[in-house]
């Protein structure tokens, strides 16, 4: 990643109105704070650099809370519309994060430090029945105002039955190993990561998380194979059907559990544990909610294949009411960065020159 917002933003500001100038300055400050605070290498556990053609809709999400912050992943599903996990719209104390504190970078495999396509969120919409305790209905939307130029690829939502033999991959900018979780030595890698994920209907799914009954419900269970897993920083990212490109979204990265994890220990959850499982919000079950809250027609959201089950269009309501909300300790897969005093990245002269030319044209 070879791009510095500190030097570039003064050139960009000349293109904008007074309100936009303030927004650009805000983003520059946020990026500086992000680089100072971000914790660890942001990669999927035991994954590889993703082929961006498979996940062209992947979005890096950063919530700037001034003295702290957290990172998530999301998926672009329409113009100015991002689908992510509902818990990515809340801080680690369970308070809803202001939309004005959330920044997204789109259209690139690079993380937010290496991607100039950065926007401030204008609206966030967590599912009205999201449970912060059990992470039921863990789906949310982020709205932002996109620029008038450039093009974007939008994700489709997989609509067929989810079976254990369905090939799937997850993508995100999450930590690459358990050693990295508490480390503050490294910056995020330049590129999006991905890994194969094993969908499962094993008994361990319901043993560790009683609300789960089957992968036809609102949550999809996965088991760990060869240590491959999503981890902190991957929350909200896609679990996708890997049989086609671009890959349509099956689920949204939500949380993980394992038989050996002891919440009372106050230690971080270990990703990729052999006795662990991951849970992903079943996206198609919320298709009506997504369409209603975005104004996007369902036919423009859904990916159909030859085995499609049309009844999947109907959203299933598996909300756990507060009175029935089980006392389950789950480990969400967002990351709350810690302080890092690393220097800013080098200046990208080509992008700066291009931006300066635009500025001159605009002023003339």
pLDDT at position 345 over 90:
no
Q: Is the dihedral of CA 352, 355, 359, 361 positive or negative?
A: positive
Question: Phi then psi for 354, rounded to 5 degrees?
Answer: -60, -45
Residue 151 CB-density burial (10 A; 0-12 exposed, 13-18 middle, 19+ buried): exposed
Domain shared by 218 and 346, yes or no:
no
Count how many domains the chain has.
2
Any domain includes 148: no
* Confidence grade of residue 46 (pLDDT, cut at 50, 70, 90): low
Find the mean pLDDT for residues 19-32. Answer: 56
Domain shared by 223 and 346, yes or no:
no
* Confidence grade of residue 5 (pLDDT, cut at 50, 70, 90): very low
pLDDT at position 162 over 80:
yes
Domain shared by 190 and 287, yes or no:
yes
pTM: 0.75
pLDDT at position 321: 36
Summarised one tens digit per residue, pLDDT across range 170-180 is: 999 876 544 54
Domain shared by 170 and 313, yes or no:
yes
pLDDT at position 303 over 90:
yes
pLDDT at position 99 over 90:
yes
Find the mean pLDDT for residues 293-321. Answer: 65
Any domain includes 248: yes
Domain shared by 358 and 210, yes or no:
no
> Distance between CA atoms of 310 and 318, rounded to whole angstroms?
19
List the domain range (segments joined by +) for residue 355. 1-38+340-364
Q: Which of 94-98, 183-187, 192-196, 214-218 has the lowest mean pLDDT?
A: 183-187
pLDDT at position 92: 84
148 vs 154, higher pLDDT:
154
In whole angstroms, how large is the CA radius of gyration of the chain? 20
Domain shared by 326 and 358, yes or no:
no
- Taking CA atoms, 167 is separated from 204, 248, 314, in Å, by 20, 12, 24
* DSSP structure string for 139-167: -EEEEE---SSS------EE-S---TT--
* Confidence grade of residue 261 (pLDDT, cut at 50, 70, 90): low
Domain shared by 178 and 252, yes or no:
yes
Find the mean pLDDT for residues 123-147. Answer: 95
pLDDT at position 311: 39
Mean pLDDT score of the chain, rounded to an integer? 74
Contacts 24+ apart (CB under 8 A), 23-32: 23/120, 26/120, 27/103, 27/118, 27/120, 30/62, 30/64, 30/103, 31/5, 31/6, 31/112, 31/113, 31/118, 32/5, 32/6, 32/344
Domain shared by 196 and 294, yes or no:
yes
């Amino acid at each position: 990643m070879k791009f510095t917002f500190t030097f570039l933003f003064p050139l960009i500001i000349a293109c904008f109105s007074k309100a936009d100038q303030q927004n650009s300055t805000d983003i520059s400050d946020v990026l500086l704070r992000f680089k100072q605070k971000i914790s660890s290498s942001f990669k999927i556990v035991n994954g590889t650099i993703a082929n961006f053609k498979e996940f062209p809709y992947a979005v890096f999400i950063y919530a700037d809370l001034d003295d702290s912050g957290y990172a998530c992943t999301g998926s672009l599903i329409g113009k100015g519309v991002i689908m992510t996990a509902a818990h990515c719209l809340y801080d680690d104390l369970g308070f809803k994060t202001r939309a004005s504190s959330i920044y997204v970078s789109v259209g690139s495999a690079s993380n937010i430090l290496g991607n100039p396509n950065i926007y401030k969120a204008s609206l966030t919409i967590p599912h009205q029945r999201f449970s912060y305790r059990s992470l039921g209905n863990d789906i949310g939307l982020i709205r932002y105002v996109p620029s008038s130029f450039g093009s974007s690829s939008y994700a489709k939502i997989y609509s067929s039955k989810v079976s254990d033999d369905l090939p799937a991959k997850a993508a995100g900018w999450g930590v690459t190993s358990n050693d990295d979780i508490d480390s503050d030595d490294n910056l995020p890698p330049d590129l999006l990561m991905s890994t194969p994920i094993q969908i499962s209907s094993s008994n361990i799914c319901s043993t560790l998380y009683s609300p789960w009954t089957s992968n036809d419900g609102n949550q999809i269970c996965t088991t760990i194979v060869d240590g491959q897993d999503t981890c902190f920083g991957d929350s909200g990212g896609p679990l996708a059907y890997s049989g086609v490109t671009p890959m349509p979204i099956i689920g949204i990265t939500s949380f993980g559990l394992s038989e050996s994890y002891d919440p009372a220990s106050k230690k971080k959850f270990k990703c990729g544990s052999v006795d662990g499982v991951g849970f992903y919000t079943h996206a198609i079950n919320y298709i009506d909610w997504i369409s209603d809250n975005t104004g996007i027609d369902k036919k423009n959201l859904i990916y159909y294949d030859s085995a499609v089950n049309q009844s999947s269009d109907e959203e299933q309501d598996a909300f756990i009411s507060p009175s029935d909300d089980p006392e389950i300790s789950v480990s969400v897969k967002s990351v709350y960065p810690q302080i890092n005093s690393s220097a800013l990245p080098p200046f990208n002269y080509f992008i700066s020159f291009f931006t300066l030319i635009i500025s001159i044209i605009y002023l003339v």
